[in-house]
Structure 1
Amino acid sequence: MNFEWSSSASTFGESGGNPALHKHRRELLEKLASNRTNPALAEMARGLLSGRTTPRQVIASGAYDELLAPHVRQFTSWYTSLSEDEKEAAAQRGQEHLDNLARRDAPRAQPARESPETRRPAARGDEEPSYDETDWTSE
């Protein structure tokens, strides 16, 4: 599947350099694509995932207006009813959510193995014997 859409093509994959956002968007589209109760929504999501269409084309075509219009109206109504402080708080919650996604999806650091040069000295009395001057060829 083609998930790498660029912003210049008005596509999905450009997430401001945020791989977690890109992954989250892809997961949402995959979930929508498997929707059996709304075939039109699934078709739109499959088109976006495959790269056959872009978000700009979805909006410009009008093919999904009936599907999208009620949700756009609901969002617009909600957003315009917010005060500036509420808008800032909503934006902050959204950013926190994106930050949590990034932390969730960040590669886990593996503990570094200690090399002899970085190994901490043993506690007094637990020191390993030095084999530096041992003659391993004699019996």
Structure 2
Amino acid sequence: MENINRSFLGTGWSFPPHFDSEGSKTKMLSDEADIQSSLEILLSTKRGERVMRSDYGCDLHELVFEPLTTTFKTYIIDLIRTSILYHEPRIEVEKIELNDTGELEGRILITITYKVRATNSRFNFVFPFYKTEGTELT
């Protein structure tokens, strides 16, 4: 009998997809790891990028050239909170913080503290948002 994963928090493909040496099975993520992967995908996806889900994404890339004023930081936090609210129902966001100490290097760290609704477990997720492409850095 085949081993069936009965994870109640969800199971999905790892991203980017990884296949075993025979190429017949893909690496799967379950539970909290699936949620973390989902958050990373959500924050790095542009709206309209997914063909069947044109409303999916966070559009952080459009904010690259904006100054990091207090008002704009509040806007970024609200954008992230709203995207998670609509597209990741398994969690409840408790706090979102922006660490802009690396702004001169083109990096902002976004820390999301959240609670998994089904288990009442708390987790942190840190997403590095780069304001410049990593291909030309020295």
Higher alpha-carbon Rg:
1
Scaled by the length of structure 1, the TM-score of the pair is 0.22
Scaled by the length of structure 2, the TM-score of the pair is 0.22
* Higher normalized helix content (fraction of residues): 1
More relative contact order, 1 or 2 (CA 8 Å, 6+ apart): 1
